Each structure stands twice: as structure tokens, then as C-alpha cells.
Amino acid sequence: MFGIQNRRDLTMELQSQIPILRPSIHARRANIVVKFQDMYSFTVEGNVDDVNVLNEVRERVRNQGRVWWALEASKGANWYLQPEILLIGALKKTSLKISALANAITLKRLVRKGIPPVLRPKVWFSVSGAAKKKSTVPESYYSDLTKAVDGMVTPATLQIDHDLPRTFPGHPWLDTPEGHAALRRVLVGYSFRDSDVGYCQGLNYVAALLLLVMKTEEDAFWMLAVLLENVLVRDCYTTNLSGCHVEQRVFKDLLAQKCPRIATHLEDMGFDVSLVATEWFLCLFSKSLPSETTLRLWDVLFYEGAKVLFHAALAIFKMKENELLMTHQVGDVINIIHTTSHQLFDPDELLTVAFEKIGSMTTNTISKQRKKQEPAVMAELDQRLRRLNSLKETGKNT
């Protein structure tokens, strides 16, 4: 698809998207807080060390981009877009097995090191399954859907309208009438596509970041659809958030397995990990990590699945193990975790711990953990509903 000239143009476009950050002379002389914009135009606060880290990260992004272009030249354009089809073919033809497996291994390694921003929309759209999902409906599906629901008012649309101005306020595009309108169409459209989900707070941040990466509303819509319908736990965003409650219980069990000293200390303190982890799993870290780190995490999420969310959550605790073991107050734990996540400007720092120090976790293992936790969660939610209904009846009779 891409000739030599086009690849050169893509490289230049990638480099133009990644400016070198230069703090003022006053900032260089003192370790003071400075404000700057990241690759996706979010305003970030940090010190000069943070600026230096981001510049190093951006240089790594450039180098990684060169690796992708070189592989396109040697393996052919778009070789990475259909790894699952290659593997299916490999099972049918022995002669293809080695090359298909090699491509899959290469792609997994590349994705973990980061997808170049200019290729991210195309790679995400393919490896996530969004392209396949879109291909099953008429080409005009999204346009017809948004036109059909325009002007309709539901509890979901009212909540969406309430949340729009609170979604990344201050962003130069998202926090504008044009940005709000685009985000609204994506969220409202999906709320009608899946009435069981409708709209849940947290999805606004996810959809907003998808809009920035995918560039078009329609592609962002299909990425949101594949996330909610295929990548994540099905009931994460339903009315009772049962799937999210299951994820919290699974995470607590995994913390005890992977970081037993931290888990024991926090339990003795009476700290509930859901105090910090609920937002992580509902917003997919989009409110907690710097945007460039979040998107590196999403690179892996769309290719390897939801297990990466557990890897990342465990890594944040693991990175601050010694500090956490010294805490005595719940508030101190929250402050450490909050500060750590918001200052993780180097994605490789997080992902190295997530995959090398946390250890292997298969999707099958996590699925078994979920099934183990589901009965307790459903019983708890049922009990909560009965209690709520009882209180309502009591109120009617008084």
C-alpha cells in the first residue's frame, strides 16, 4: 500500500507530531513545576526531569517508527494487519506455520514496544477486531444511526450532556463545541446500539481518547463497540456494574498472589483496592496515566486483551512496594498511588514492570478467576437490591 515516498512522508508526519519539549531557562535552574503540552495536546504539569523523560520517550518513538517502516519494506506493506488470519492459515498449511508464527511473535513484541502514532489508528482498527465488526453491517450504519437518534432524549443522553463539559476540560479540541458534538454523537449512538449498556460514566473519557487517536467519529465508534462487546468484560458498564465488581475482586486476588506483602499490609490497614482501581478499570487508565502512557497500554490492550489492565494495575502497586509497606493511613496509600500513576511519563517504565516483574497471566487464567468471583458478586448485588427495595417500601408506608 505504501511506496518508498509514502513511507518517507509518514516518517516526516510522525516526527512532526513529536516536538522536542524545551523548558525555559528559569525552569532549568530550579526544580520547579512547569506546564507543557503532550503529544495529544493535553496540558501536563511536571518538573524538568519529567520534560527530559518525555523527550527521551519521544526519541524512542521515532526509533520505533523506523523499525516499523523497515519491516514494511522487508515483509510487505500492512503485513501486521491480519495476524489472526495468518495463524488460522498456518494451522491449515504446515508450510505457512513457521512464517505465520514468526509474524505473530514479531507483532506482539512490536506492539509492546509501542505502535507509532501515525500507524496507531490503522493497526488498532485491524488487530482489535473493529474492522471485522464494521464489515458485518451496511456501510452507512453509523451515519444512519446518528441521524435516526438525533434529537431523542433518554436518561443516557441527559447524563451524556451533563458529562461532556467535564470530559478533559481545557483540551484545545475536546473542550470545544465541535469536540463536544463529536463526542456526543459517538456516545449517544452507542447508547442506542446497546441499550443494556446505554451510557456509563467513564465511557466519556474512553471515547474522547479514541476520538483523538482514530481521527474520525465513525472509527472511534467502532473502536468503542469492539472494546465493550469483545475486549472487556461484557457487564462492566451495565446498570449494576457487575462486571466491574468482578474485576475488582479478581484484582484483589491477583494482588495477593503477585504482591503478597503489599496485599497483607493493605488488608491489615483496612484498605480496599477498589478505592483506586475502580476508576482504572472503568476509564481504562485514561484519567490516571499521562495520555502517551495510556495509549501505549491501549496498544497492548487491543492486541492481547483485557489481561493487560491487571498487569498495569499490579505494576503500579509493585513499583511503590517499599513506600506502601511504610504507610499507616488509607489516605497515604491513595496519595502514593495517585502521584505515581499521574507521573508515569515513561511508558516503558510501567510496561517493563507489568510484564517482566509481575510475571505471566493468561487470559484463560483470568477468565477462571472471573467465573469464581461471579456468584459472590451477583449475590452481593442481589442483597443490595433487596435492601434498597425494602427501604423504598418502608418509606412508602411512613
pLDDT of residue 396: 65
State which H helix or E strand residue 43 sits in: strand 43-46
Residue 91 counted as domain residue: no
pLDDT exceeds cutoff 90 at 173: yes
Number of domains in the chain: 3
What is the pTM assigned to this prediction? Answer: 0.86
pLDDT exceeds cutoff 90 at 381: no
Measured at the CA of 347, the angle between CA 80 and CA 6, to 5 degrees, comes to: 40
pLDDT exceeds cutoff 90 at 116: yes
Q: Residues 191, 59: one domain? A: no
Radius of gyration of the chain (CA): 22
pLDDT of residue 9: 43
Average pLDDT over residues 371-390: 83
pLDDT of residue 164: 98
Which of 181, 204, 230 terminates a domain? The answer is 230
Pairwise pLDDT comparison (74 vs 390), residue with the higher score: 74
Q: For residue 45, report the phi and psi dihedrals to the nearest 5 degrees.
A: -110, 135
Q: Residues 255, 370: one domain? A: yes
Q: Residues 332, 387: one domain? A: yes
pLDDT exceeds cutoff 80 at 156: yes
Q: Residues 164, 37: one domain? A: no
- DSSP per-residue codes, 311-334: HHHHHHHHHTHHHHHT--SHHHHH
Residues 6+ apart with CB under 8 A from 348: 57, 60, 113
Give me the residue label for grid cell 495529544. Answer: 40
Residue 218 counted as domain residue: yes
pLDDT per position as a tens digit, 275-327: 999 999 999 999 999 999 999 999 999 999 999 999 999 999 999 999 999 99
Domain span at residue 136? 128-230
Residue 13 counted as domain residue: no
Type of residue numbered 131: A
- Which of 100-109, 220-229, 362-371 is predicted with the least confidence, judged by mean pLDDT? 100-109
Query: Rounded CA gap, 114 and 292, in Å?
Result: 10
Q: For residue 300, report the phi and psi dihedrals to the nearest 5 degrees.
A: -75, -40
Q: Residues 244, 386: one domain? A: yes
Give me the residue label for grid cell 458498564. Answer: 237
Residues 6+ apart with CB under 8 A from 275: 330, 334
Q: Residues 170, 311: one domain? A: no
Residue 235 counted as domain residue: no
Residue 17 counted as domain residue: no
Q: Residues 34, 78: one domain? A: yes
- Output the average pLDDT for the chain: 86
Percent helix, strand, coil in the chain, to 5, is 70, 0, 25
Q: Residues 260, 204: one domain? A: no
Query: Rounded CA gap, 332 and 124, in Å?
Result: 37
Q: Residues 182, 105: one domain? A: no
pLDDT per position as a tens digit, 343-366: 999 999 999 999 999 988 888 889
pLDDT per position as a tens digit, 4-31: 344 434 433 444 455 555 444 344 444 6
Q: Residues 354, 269: one domain? A: yes
Residue 315 counted as domain residue: yes
Query: Rounded CA gap, 282 and 284, in Å?
Result: 6
Which of 171, 204, 230 terminates a domain? The answer is 230
Q: Residues 149, 250: one domain? A: no
What CATH number did the domain enclosing 329 receive?
1.10.472.80
pLDDT of residue 26: 41
What CATH number did the domain enclosing 186 receive?
1.10.8.270
Other beta carbons within 10 angstroms of residue 6's beta carbon come to 11
Joined together, the cell numbers standing for residue 373 give 468471583
pLDDT per position as a tens digit, 139-151: 999 999 999 999 9
Residue 59 counted as domain residue: yes
pLDDT per position as a tens digit, 55-100: 899 899 999 999 998 988 888 878 877 544 444 333 444 444 566 6
pLDDT of residue 394: 67
Joined together, the cell numbers standing for residue 85 give 488470519
Q: Residues 374, 271: one domain? A: yes
Residue 19 counted as domain residue: no
Q: Which among 28, 108, 122, 76 has a CA at the least distance from the CA of 303?
A: 108
pLDDT of residue 72: 85
